[in-house]
Amino acid sequence: MIAAILVTQSRMSEYMDMIDIPPEYMTGLEKVDSEHQRIYRIITLMSQSVADNKGSTITANHTVMLLAYIKCHFENEEDIMIAIEFNGLNSHMEEHSVILNKLSDLFCQHRMTGDITSALSYLIGSLIEHMKSEDKLFADHVRLLRSKKTKKLSAR
Ligand SMILES: [Fe+2]
Ligand SMILES: [Fe+2]
């Protein structure tokens, strides 16, 4: 199912559009929010598959692609934080690294046992929460810098 999401099948894509990330998870940064939205939708669909007793349709290919997407998203965030010289960069990168390592272990466990529930719990409890806490911190900083820049320009 996740493969279908990532390669954008029309029906699945329509269904995905119906799943919106709750507003409290929005950072206000367009690119970051659109990547969060995609991750949130995939996790929601995975959870629905498990709830419908279709967890076995989630394959190793799906988890490999999801992990790659999350890794890419983390790198995009780190590029933004480097560009603004965010002083929480190191601890944020450390948290990304912890999440990726743990997810890699849990997806490995899924390949060995077929059980996806531990990985899903971690995705919901840690990755989704990371969006609401850590990601909002650097996003607030980006927006603050942007508003300072706008004020400077309008004062000229
Ligand atoms: Fe993020
Ligand atoms: Fe992050």
The pLDDT tens digits of the residues spanning 49-67 come to 999 999 999 999 999 999 9
Q: Is 19 helix (H, G, I), strand (E, B) or coil?
A: coil
User: Ligand 2 centre from 118 Cα, in Å?
Assistant: 21
User: Ligand 1 centre from 77 Cα, in Å?
Assistant: 7
Please check whether residue 46 lies inside any domain of the structure.
Answer: yes
User: Ligand 2 centre from 92 Cα, in Å?
Assistant: 6
Q: What is the per-residue pLDDT for 122? A: 95
Q: What is the per-residue pLDDT for 10? A: 47
The string of DSSP codes covering 41-61 is HHHHHHHHHHHTT-GGG--HH
Please check whether residue 151 lies inside any domain of the structure.
Answer: no
Please check whether residue 27 lies inside any domain of the structure.
Answer: yes
Please check whether residue 154 lies inside any domain of the structure.
Answer: no
Nearest ligand, CA 31: 1
Nearest ligand, CA 97: 2
Number of domains forming the structure of the chain: 1
User: Ligand 2 centre from 47 Cα, in Å?
Assistant: 22
- Cα–Cα distance between 94 and 89 in angstroms, integer? 8
Mean pLDDT in residue range 76-100: 97
Please check whether residue 67 lies inside any domain of the structure.
Answer: yes
What is the domain-level CATH number for residue 66? 1.20.120.50
Whole-prediction pTM: 0.85
Q: pLDDT for 4-33, tens place per residue?
A: 444 444 445 555 656 788 888 899 999 999
- Cα–Cα distance between 35 and 129 in angstroms, integer? 15
Please check whether residue 78 lies inside any domain of the structure.
Answer: yes
Where in the sequence is the domain holding 90, given as residue range(s)? 2-146
Please check whether residue 57 lies inside any domain of the structure.
Answer: yes
- Cα–Cα distance between 137 and 133 in angstroms, integer? 7
Please check whether residue 156 lies inside any domain of the structure.
Answer: no
